[in-house]
Amino acid sequence: MELYYVMAITDRAKSESMAALYRSAGLHMILTALGRGTATDEHLALYGLDSADKAVISAVADPGEARQLMKSARRRLFIDIPGNGVMLTVPLKSVAGGRTLAYLTDSTATEGRPEMEFEHELIVVILNEGYSDFVMDAARSAGAGGGTVLHAKGTGSSRGEKFFGVSLAQEKDLIYIVAHRDEKAAIMSAVSRQAGPGSKAGAICFSLPISSVAGLRAREAD
pLDDT score, position 2: 81
Residue 84 CA to chain centroid, in angstroms?
21
Q: Tell me: pLDDT of 59 over 60.
A: yes
The tens digit of pLDDT for each residue in 110-160 reads: 455 555 567 888 899 999 999 999 999 999 999 998 888 888 877 655 555
- At residue 165, does pLDDT exceed 80? no
The pTM of this model reads 0.64
Between 105 and 48, whose confidence is greater?
A: 105
For residues 100 and 26, the model is more confident at: 26
Could you tell me the CA-to-CA distances from 204 to 33, 81, 90, 100, 200 in Å, in that order? Answer: 17, 34, 17, 6, 12
Residue 21 in this model has a pLDDT that exceeds 60: yes
Domains of the chain and any CATH numbers: 4-91 (3.30.70.120), 94-210 (3.30.70.120)
Half-sphere exposure at residue 117, Cβ-oriented, CA atoms within 13 angstroms: 0
Q: What is the pLDDT of residue 89?
A: 84
Phi and psi torsions of 122, nearest 5°: -100, 115
Percentage of the chain beyond pLDDT 70 is 73
Predicted local confidence at residue 138, as pLDDT: 96
